Structure formats: C-alpha cells, structure tokens
Amino acid sequence: RFAPSPTGYLHVGGARTALFNWLWARRMGGKFILRIEDTDQKRNTPTAIQQVANDLCWLGIEWDEGPEVGGPNGPYLQSQRRDIYDKYIIQLLGEKKAYYCFDTPDELQAMRKQAEAQKKSFIYPRPEDFPGDKDAEKMRGQGCPVTVRFAVGRDEPIVVTDVVRGEVTFAAGEIGDFIIQKSDGFPRTTLRASSMINSWE
C-alpha cells in the first residue's frame, strides 16, 4: 500500500517508497493499493490527487486498487473512511487504551521547550485519570482543542520484526503517548493511524 498526502507534488522520497512497495507486491504475488491520505484538510490541494496519479503513471507504476480503479477495499480516500476510524477511536477510549487531551499548541510548545532546556526527550505527561466524553464535550463547547492520544504501554518492551533489520526491541516508555485523532476529528497522518486501521480491517 502506498498512501501519499495530496498536499503538493510527489517528491523523490515518495516516488522511491511507491516503487519499492510496487516491486515488493509484484515479487510476492500481492496487490499494490493506492490510498490517498487526504486527512490534512488545511494543506490538501484540489489538483494534487490527480497529480500524484499522473506522476505514478509516468513512472510506470500501476495500482491494482485505488482511485480511478476501484476494488474491494474502498473507499480509497481516507476522508471517506472516517466512520471506520471513529469506530476504533471509540473502542480504544472505552478500553482506556486512549484518552482525550486538551492542550493548546502553545502549551505543548512550552512543554517541549522545558524538556529541551533540561536536555531530555519530550514525552507527553500522561494524566492519572483519563478525561471522559462529557469532559471532551465541555471543552469543545468552550472552543478548546480536543485530541485523542494513544496510551502507550509503559512496562513491556516493544518488539518489531523488520524485513530488513530483523527483530528490533525498544522500550515503550521512550515513545510517549502520541496523537491518533486531531482536533478536527481526522486521524493523525504523520503517524499513519488511518493506515494502521486500514491494515487491521
């Protein structure tokens, strides 16, 4: 799967990723799926989706599923799959595996600067008690940003089996609780929350 953001032209890094994914799919007898990460509503450009498609065609990369082609795993614009993502966000909140966060950008920046001054990596300070749905609605009503963070496990190490590097182990506490849903209700694109849910589905 290749999931570019339609915020501009396809750059060299994106083309490289698309090519490697396409080659891997062909070698393993799989399918190459094109999804469009159009969840950054402020930066999307109306012509970028078609431009990405044109650039891939110019490179000779054809997708088996995606925009203009269709397929059994649509829709292929992430913004059209929001109800799917919302279902999992609600599930994670209910299981206390995620929680609401009300920090403003200025407050987060102040936390980062404080960590930098202490020569520490910034790790978001998890609250002792997770806010509930009523708290979130109240904060939204006051015009405060409401995001959702994933509660990363603190005690167990994270083990990933990488195709290139093999088994990689690192401490979960080094990651910190990351945002999986932005204040506009869309999944966080930089962490590919929507892509992870697509893989799970």
Domains recognised in the chain with CATH numbers: 12-76 (3.40.50.620), 79-200 (3.90.800.10)
> In this predicted model, what pLDDT tens digit does every residue of 187-199 receive, in sequence order?
654 444 555 555 5
The percent of residues above 70 in pLDDT, for the chain, comes to 93
Angstrom distance (rounded) from CA 60 to CA 19: 9
Burial 81-96 (b: 16+ CB within 10 A, else e): bbebbeebbeebbeee
Q: Specify which residues 2 forms β-bridges with.
A: 34
pLDDT at 191: 43
Q: Between β-strands 157-162 and 166-171, what pairing exists: parallel, antiparallel or unpaired?
A: antiparallel
**Which stretches of the chain are assigned E, i.e. beta strand?**
98-101, 147-150, 157-162, 166-171, 179-181
> In this predicted model, what pLDDT tens digit does every residue of 114-133 receive, in sequence order?
999 999 989 999 998 999 99
Angstrom distance (rounded) from CA 173 to CA 132: 24
pLDDT at 2: 94
Compute the average pLDDT of residues 42-64: 89
Look up tokens 């990460």; give the residue.
37
pLDDT at 190: 43
pLDDT at 16: 96
Angstrom distance (rounded) from CA 103 to CA 176: 15
Residue 49, phi then psi, degrees to nearest 5: -60, -45
Return the number of other C-beta atoms located less than 10 Å from residue 61's C-beta.
Answer: 17
Angstrom distance (rounded) from CA 19 to CA 62: 10
pLDDT at 193: 53
* Mean pLDDT score across all residues of the chain: 88
> In this predicted model, what pLDDT tens digit does every residue of 66-122 receive, in sequence order?
998 999 988 998 888 888 888 989 999 999 999 999 999 999 999 999 999 999 989
Compute the average pLDDT of residues 128-139: 93
